[in-house]
Homo-oligomer: A and B are copies of this chain.
C-alpha cells in the first residue's frame, strides 16, 4: 500500500471540517458590531441552546476548551469551597488542578483510567461530602475514551447535596444524548474542534438558572471569563471582540445541524464508533475502555508493540493522524476520533494501515462490516 496523498485526520479533536464550513471560513471578514454579523451570532446563541437542550443560556468564549473549563471554576467556586472532582484520566486531573489553583478544596473521586464509574461507590462518597459546592465530571474522558454516567451522577448529586453539577462535555456534546435541562446539569462545557467540526478557538458554556444565581453572588476575582459581565451583552453580542470568522463558520455548522437534525449527527458518531470497535475486535484487539464512547475509541495495542512508533508510522507513511495514549497510557493505545467530516473511506484506510502496521491478516468478512452499506447517513457533511 502506497502513501496516500489524502490526509486523513481521525483524532478526537481537532477533526476534519466539512467543505461548506471551510468555505465559510474564507469569506471576507465581517466586523463583530454590525447587524449582518450580529444576526449570525444571535442565530448561534439560539441554536446552541437547542444543541445543549436547554432553555437557559449558552455563552461563547474565545478560548480553547481548557479556557471554558477554567471559566466554570472561577465562576462557580470561591476559595475554600469544596468540590468533588471525578478523576479518571488526564482531563479530570486538569479540572481538579485548576480548581486547586484557584483555591478550592478539591476532593477527588479517583478512578482507574478506563474503568466505569461505580454508582454505589460514588453515592457513598458524596454522602460523606454533602457540603460540596460542585460535583465535576467529564461526560467523556478523552484520554481514556471512557463515558461517565452523567445522568445518574447528576441525579445522585441533587439527591444528596446542594452542589452544582459541572460537566466537561468537550468530547461529548453533539455526539451523544446529553440533555442539559432534563438531566439537571448546571454547567456544561463544550469546544469548537470536536463535534462542532470547527477549528480550535471557540468554547461554549451552558449555565443553568441555579448556577447563574451562585455565579452572580461569587466574589472570586475574574475578568476575561467573568460570566456576570458576559451576560450583560448576551444574547445580543459578546462582551469582547467576537471571533468573527469562527462565529460565521459556527453559524454554518449549526445550520448543517438543523438541516440534518441532531439525532442524525449523533447517530453518525455512534455508527463510526461501533464500527471501529467491531473492526478492532475482529482483528483481535481490545477496546481499552470499560464504558466506551461514541466520540472517540481507544484501542489497546498488543504486548510488545510500541504505540508511539506505530502512531508516527501511520502519520508519516500513511498520512493518517490518530492519537496515541497520554501519560500512563503513552505507547499503549491508539485513540481514534469519530467526530467531524469523517467518511467510510477514512475508517477503511485506517484499518488497512493498522493491519499492515501490526502485520495482521485481514479477517474474513472484515471489509463487509466496514462497507458503505453500514453507513447510510454519513455523506451529508460532504
**Contact present for A11 and B31 (CB under 8 Å):** yes
Q: Counting CB contacts under 8 A, is A211 at the interface?
A: no
CB distance from A344 to the nearest CB of B (A): 18
Stretch at the interface among A21-29, A48-56, A111-119, A155-163: A21-29
Size class of the A contact interface (CB-based, 8 Å): 35 or more
A15 to B28, CA, bound (A): 9
A62-B241 CB under 8 A given contacts A29-B14, A103-B221, A221-B103? no
Output the nearest chain B residue to A202 by Cβ-Cβ distance.
Answer: B201
Stretch at the interface among A243-251, A258-266, A278-286, A346-354: A243-251
A9 to B16, CA, bound (A): 30
Q: Specify which chain B residues have a CB less than 8 angstroms from the CB of A17 in the assembled complex.
A: 28-29
Q: Mark A175-187, 1 if CB is under 8 A from B, else 0.
A: 0000000000000
A29 to B12, CA, bound (A): 13
A34 to B312, CA, bound (A): 9
CB distance from A96 to the nearest CB of B (A): 11
Q: Mark A18-40, 1 if CB is under 8 A from B, else 0.
A: 00001101111111111100000
Count of identical protomers in the assembly: 2
CB distance from A72 to the nearest CB of B (A): 11
Output the nearest chain B residue to A243 by Cβ-Cβ distance.
Answer: B201
Q: Specify which chain B residues have a CB less than 8 angstroms from the CB of A22 in the assembled complex.
A: 26-28
A19 to B185, CA, bound (A): 44
Stretch at the interface among A63-71, A81-89, A288-296: A63-71
**Contact present for B321 and A31 (CB under 8 Å):** yes
CB distance from A54 to the nearest CB of B (A): 24
Q: Counting CB contacts under 8 A, is A242 at the interface?
A: yes
- Which of B23, B65, B240, B323 has a CB less than 8 Å from the CB of A64? B240
**Contact present for A245 and B101 (CB under 8 Å):** no
Q: Counting CB contacts under 8 A, is A309 at the interface?
A: no
A246-B199 CB under 8 A given contacts A62-B62, A67-B63, A241-B65? yes
Q: Counting CB contacts under 8 A, is A200 at the interface?
A: yes
- For the residues of A in contact with B, the DSSP-based class is loop
**Contact present for A26 and B23 (CB under 8 Å):** yes
Q: Specify which chain B residues have a CB less than 8 angstroms from the CB of A315 in the assembled complex.
A: 34-35
- Which of B29, B34, B35 has a CB less than 8 Å from the CB of A199? B29
Q: Counting CB contacts under 8 A, is A206 at the interface?
A: no
A193-B244 CB under 8 A given contacts A28-B22, A29-B199, A70-B223? yes
A243-B101 CB under 8 A given contacts A9-B31, A25-B26? no
Q: Counting CB contacts under 8 A, is A380 at the interface?
A: no
- Which of B32, B193, B221 has a CB less than 8 Å from the CB of A14? B32
- Which of B28, B70, B199, B221 has a CB less than 8 Å from the CB of A224? B70
In the complex, 13 of the A-B residue pairs with CB atoms within 8 angstroms, ordered by the A residue number, are: A7-B28, A13-B241, A22-B26, A26-B26, A32-B200, A62-B64, A63-B224, A64-B240, A66-B223, A101-B221, A193-B241, A200-B244, A201-B245
6 further A-B pairs in the complex, CB-CB below 8 A; given A13-B241, A63-B224: A22-B27, A29-B193, A62-B62, A62-B67, A63-B67, A97-B223
